[in-house]
Amino acid sequence: MPAAPRIAVVGSINMDLVVRCGRLPRPGETIIADDAREIPGGKGANQAVAAARLGAKVSMIGRVGSDSFADRLLDNLRHERVDTAHTLRTEDCASGLAIISVEATGENSITVVPGANGHMTPNDIDAASDKIERAEVLLLQLEIPMEVVLAAIRVARDANTRVILDPAPVPDHVPNGLLDVDFICPNESEAAALLGQSADSIEDVIAAKSLAKRGPGTAIITLGSRGAVVCETSGLCQHIPSIDVQAVDTTAAGDAFAGAFGVSLAEKSSILDAVRFGCIAGAIAASRIGAQPSIPIRSEILQVARDSQRTI
């Protein structure tokens, strides 16, 4: 039996307040929602759980606060067999909070209050550098301070650890070094923002080629129900189709993709096979309510692959 791949995750840990409604409210409008739930989330924690559910040894590098959510968030990560040795508590501070409105189509609107996530520093990376150096893959997102993300990239680069960046939320300014990663995996709107274009005007393959030329070894634009476009710096591009699902809540679909993609890469799959694996994971997540509760285990992904006659 091969050893479990080692994945390091540097990122956010939030409690999600998920509000389900028939449709998202327009500016200035009040609507009546169907229900509300408190669900562990945060892009970093979601990706950590996604990787752990697929059998990886995952280290979560992040912060929670000193509020009532902190123990619940830590307990949840440990329940998912995520190593929290470098998940720190920040005193006199609230844990991260995301307010997520989800309409009947599965589309969502998300407002994030960083809380303790905003108190991460490059010192947190220094203290956990061995976890990054020993990992096959580092997963990153942008719900934490940019200097922390850049510090993590530098440690990974020096250790030849492959880096996957989910550039969400997209910053107003892209600093030097942010795109010095092996893989970048924005969705269409994030790709458009990175390129300074309208999401309605971008052509997926051209956008992916443009992103790849800016530094990442490979650009992957996730397209929801349409799968993903993969472009390498060589200019070689390919569309990877997804599977048909009824979208219920797309909140953690991108995180499920990133976690599954990272694990598959760490298991020595080809880039295209890893993207296929990630697309199925993301599609399954979109068909379920909530962030982490929606994330699939390996047997579910493999079953869907068999049912759809996909090779992964």
Determine how β-strand 228-232 pairs with β-strand 237-240: antiparallel
- Active site residue ranges: 255
Residue environment code for 26-43, b if the CB has 16+ CB neighbours within 10 A, otherwise e: eeeeeeeeeeeeebbbbb
Query: What's the chain look like in SS3?
Result: CCCCCEEEEECCCEEEEEEECCCCCCCCCCCCCCEEEEEEECHHHHHHHHHHHCCCEEEEEEEECCCHHHHHHHHHHHHCCEECCCEEECCCCCCEEEEEEECCCCCEEEEEECHHHHHCCHHHHHHCHHHHHHCCEEEECCCCCHHHHHHHHHHHHHHCCEEEECCCCCCCCCCCCCCCCCEECCEHHHHHHHHCCCCCCCCHHHHHHHHHHCCCCEEEEECHHHCEEEEECCCCEEEECCCCCCCCCCCCHHHHHHHHHHHHHHCCCCHHHHHHHHHHHHHHHHCCCCCHHHCCCHHHHHHHHHHCCCCC
CA separation for the pair 139, 165 (Å, rounded): 6
Counting beta carbons within 10 angstroms of the beta carbon of residue 214, is it exposed (0 to 12), middle (13 to 18) or buried (19 or more)?
Answer: middle
Dihedral of alpha carbons 158, 272, 149, 196, sign? positive
